[in-house]
């Protein structure tokens, strides 16, 4: 499931997209059932949001979780015009995964998608991205607790920033 925050650009220049992109979220889902879409959408989307989506039958319940929705039947060739940032994000992720990895196990797919979204969502940070990375590294708590050996030992972390 791919969700992209976007808003209309007031006056797009020639060759520029008419929507600007905000945050991206990609979520591995177990099935294409209506309740699955509704549950994921309600976790990630504010109730007062207007959602633009394709006419997949599972999306009917998403309409109940948001203020307004626009559903369109989209042919394959027109999909990038209707949902441009969704298709750009998917195409870029597929290219990255094919170029970088020879195979991705299903159990790690969500982690790879999270990493891609993390990088995508920080594309406009510029020079402050390093400082934000330090904060994220210090605050990160490992999900792989089974790989932490000898839990009684404490590690002291000292960070020195040179400017």
* CATH code where residue 63 lies: 3.30.420
Q: Is residue 72 domain-resident?
A: yes
The β-bridge relationship of strands 19-26 and 2-8 is antiparallel
Burial of 53 (0-12, 13-18, 19+ CB in 10 A): buried
- Say if 90 falls within a structural domain: yes
* Predicted local confidence at residue 156, as pLDDT: 52
CA distances from 128 to 122, 124, 133 (A): 10, 9, 9
pLDDT for the residue numbered 121: 86
Q: Indicate whether 44 belongs to any domain.
A: yes
pLDDT of residue 162: 53
- Label each residue of 51-102 as H, E or C: EEEECCHHHHHHHHHCCEEEEECCCHHHHHHHCHHHHHHHHHHHHHHHHHCC
Cβ atoms of 120 and 113 closer than 8 Å? no
Instruction: Tell me how many domains the chain contains.
Output: 1
Q: Is residue 156 part of a domain?
A: no
Task: Using DSSP, state whether 33 is helix, strand or coil.
Answer: coil
pLDDT at 6: 80
Residue 100 lies inside a defined structural domain of this protein = yes
**pTM tops 0.75:** no
Q: How far, CA to CA in Å, does 28 sit from each of 49, 111, 138, 153, 163?
A: 22, 10, 27, 35, 40
Averaged over successive runs of 10 residues, the pLDDT of the chain (163 residues) comes to 82 69 88 87 85 82 81 78 84 85 81 89 79 83 60 52 51
Domain membership flag for residue 153: no
CA 53 – CA 62 distance, rounded (Å): 10
Cβ neighbors of 121 (< 8 A, separation 6 or more) are 23, 24
Residue 82 counted as domain residue: yes
What's the confidence (pLDDT) of residue 60? 81
How far is it, in rounded angstroms, from Cα 118 to Cα 137? 13
Strand, helix or coil for residue 113: helix
Q: Is residue 152 a part of any domain in this protein?
A: no
What is the per-residue pLDDT for 15? Answer: 66
Q: Could you list the residue range(s) of the whole structural domain that residue 109 is in? A: 2-147
């Amino acid at each position: 499931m791919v969700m992209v925050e976007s808003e209309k650009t007031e006056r797009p220049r020639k060759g520029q997209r008419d929507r600007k992109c905000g945050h991206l979220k990609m979520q591995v889902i177990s099935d294409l059932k209506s309740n699955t879409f509704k549950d994921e959408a309600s976790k990630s989307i504010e109730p007062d949001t207007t959602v633009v989506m394709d006419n997949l039958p599972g999306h009917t319940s998403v309409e109940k979780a948001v203020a307004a929705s626009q559903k369109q039947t989209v042919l394959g060739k027109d999909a990038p015009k209707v949902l441009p940032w969704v298709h750009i994000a998917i195409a870029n992720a597929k290219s990255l995964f094919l170029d970088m990895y020879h195979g991705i196990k299903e159990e790690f797919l969500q982690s790879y998608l999270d990493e891609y979204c993390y990088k995508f969502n920080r594309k406009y940070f510029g020079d402050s991205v390093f400082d934000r990375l330090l904060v994220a590294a210090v605050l990160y708590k490992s999900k792989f607790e089974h790989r932490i050996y000898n839990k009684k030992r404490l590690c002291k972390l000292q960070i020195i920033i040179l400017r």
